[in-house]
Amino acid sequence: MIRPFAPADLEPAIALWKRACGLTHAFLPQDFMDTVEKQLRAGGMNEASTVVFDDGGVRGFLTMTGNAINDFFVDPDHQGRGIGTKLLDHAKAGSPELHLSVFTRNTRAILFYDARGFLVVKRRHYPAARNEILLMKWERPQP
C-alpha cells in the first residue's frame, strides 16, 4: 500500500536509498551523496512531502515539492515488480503536471520515465554533482 511517510520510516528509507544508489548512482561523488543524505535527514522526507510503498516494510518512497518529484527510489530487491509505477501513478493522480531531473547516466530511469509519458525539457550541468541532468516533464493528457 501507498501511505504517507512516518518518522519511523526514516532509517529504513535511508538504508534503501543507499542500497539503490550503490547500484544506479555510483558515478556520483561522495561529498554530493553526503549532502543529499543530510538533506533527507533534515526534513527532506516528511509526512507532507513523502509517500512510501509499504508491504510489511518500506519498499520504495517518493518525495515531492509542489509538482516536482525530488527523490524516487525502490529497494533493489523489489525493483521491476510495479512498485515504482504505482508510486508514480499516485503522484500523477495528485497533480496535472510533474517535473523532475534525472542524471543522464541513469539510462534505465530515463527509459522508465519516457515510457510513462515524460518528455525531456532541457539538459544542463549540475555542478554540485559534477554530472549532466535532464529536466523532464509530464502533463496529464486532456480528456
Ligand X SMILES: CC(C)(COP(=O)(O)OP(=O)(O)OC[C@H]1O[C@@H](n2cnc3c(N)ncnc32)[C@H](O)[C@@H]1OP(=O)(O)O)[C@@H](O)C(=O)NCCC(=O)NCCS
Whether the Cβ atoms of residue 87 and residue 62 lie closer than 8 Å to each other: yes
Residue 19 or residue 143: which is nearer to ligand X going by CB? 19
- Amino acid at residue number 1: M
Interface positions with ligand X (CB under 6 A):
20, 24, 72-74, 79-85, 102, 106, 108-109, 111-112, 115
Residue 41 or residue 108: which is nearer to ligand X going by CB? 108
Residue 100 or residue 143: which is nearer to ligand X going by CB? 100
Residue with cell 499516485: 90
CA pair distance 15, 41, nearest whole angstrom: 12
Least separation in angstroms between residue 27's CB and ligand X is 12
Q: Which sign, positive or negative, has the C-alpha torsion 115, 71, 15, 129?
A: positive
Least separation in angstroms between residue 62's CB and ligand X is 8
